[in-house]
């Protein structure tokens, strides 16, 4: 690949990684609406869709960070869109944490975080 082709490829991948996160929420909403024939269907759809969103919102920022390291290594500008994408991916956990504190209080949020950490440890030891 020539330098120009690599630049275009990096630019397209950067755009895709930035937009995959926000667009995943729309896909989840459509999926839940389609599957929401009954209350249990909606819960099952959320049970399936939320881990998919979690994987997307974990892998996409990691890939963006790798893209940034690659571009810095080649002394290329990172781009404003990638910065905004990283801000989006960093703000999602903060928004979820703020909503949890608002809805459950601090003690409920700490118990929720402890439960998540226990579940992660259990899954890793399994």
DSSP string, 28-45: HHHHHHHHTTSHHHHHHH
- For residue 84, is it left (φ>0), alpha (ψ between -120 and 50) or beta? alpha
Could you report the per-residue pLDDT of 54-74, keeping only the tens digit for each? 778 888 888 888 888 887 777
Could you report the per-residue pLDDT of 13-59, keeping only the tens digit for each? 677 777 777 777 777 777 666 666 666 566 666 666 677 777 788 88
């Amino acid at each position: 690949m020539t330098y120009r082709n690599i630049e275009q490829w990096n630019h397209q991948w950067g755009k895709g990684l930035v937009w995959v996160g926000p667009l995943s929420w729309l896909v989840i909403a459509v999926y839940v609406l389609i599957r929401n024939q009954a209350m249990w269907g909606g819960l099952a759809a959320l049970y399936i869709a939320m881990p998919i969103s979690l994987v997307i919102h974990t892998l996409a920022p990691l890939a963006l960070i790798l893209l940034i390291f690659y571009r810095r290594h080649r002394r290329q500008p990172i781009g404003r869109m990638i910065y905004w994408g990283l801000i989006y991916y960093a703000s999602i956990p903060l928004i979820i944490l703020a909503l949890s504190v608002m809805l459950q209080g601090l003690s409920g949020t700490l118990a929720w975080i402890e439960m998540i950490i226990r579940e992660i440890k259990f899954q890793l030891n399994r």
